[in-house]
Amino acid sequence: MIAQAGSSDIGMELAARTADMVFTAQTTVKDGRAFRNEMFDRAIPLRPRTGPFAYLPRTDADRPAKPRPKHGEKYEELRELVDDEVGLRGVARLCGGLDISKYPPDGPLPPLPPSNAARARSR
């Protein structure tokens, strides 16, 4: 199986010619459907999939013994597991080479430089 990741025009053309599967990073159902439809227009039917963000147990036996968090608490629980330095490196990867270490972690970033690095996510 050949997988392609990326939603730039060049990446979509590559996927249309070669991929069995496309990973994409659209953040809404509407945008995901639009991406899928564009891929279907470009190639034989592909199955775009988004990448997983966290392990979620399938059965109660797989769940940890502590009580299940309320809605919205799961994000905070997962966020606490991410080391700040690791998280900043992950965000920096999406910023097209901009050194984000000189900006406050909770503040805005300046306009990002043009880049092919994770284009859908940087948008």
Give the whole-angstrom CA distance, residue 24 versus residue 49: 6
Q: What mean pLDDT is reported for the chain?
A: 75
How far is it between the farthest Cα atoms of the chain?
48
Instruction: Give residue 93's pLDDT.
Output: 77
Residue 30's Cα: distance from chain center in Å? 16
Give the whole-angstrom CA distance, residue 65 versus residue 60: 9
Give the whole-angstrom CA distance, residue 72 versus residue 58: 19
Instruction: Give residue 105's pLDDT.
Output: 77
Span 28-52, pLDDT tens digits:
888 888 888 888 888 755 455 555 5
Would you state the structure tokens that stand for residue 53, as one six-digit string? Answer: 């963000």
Span 85-101, pLDDT tens digits:
887 877 787 777 778 88
Contacts of 19 by beta carbon, 8 Å cutoff, 6+ apart: 2, 3, 4, 43, 46
> What's the order of all strands across the beta sheet hosting 3-5?
3-5, 21-24, 47-50
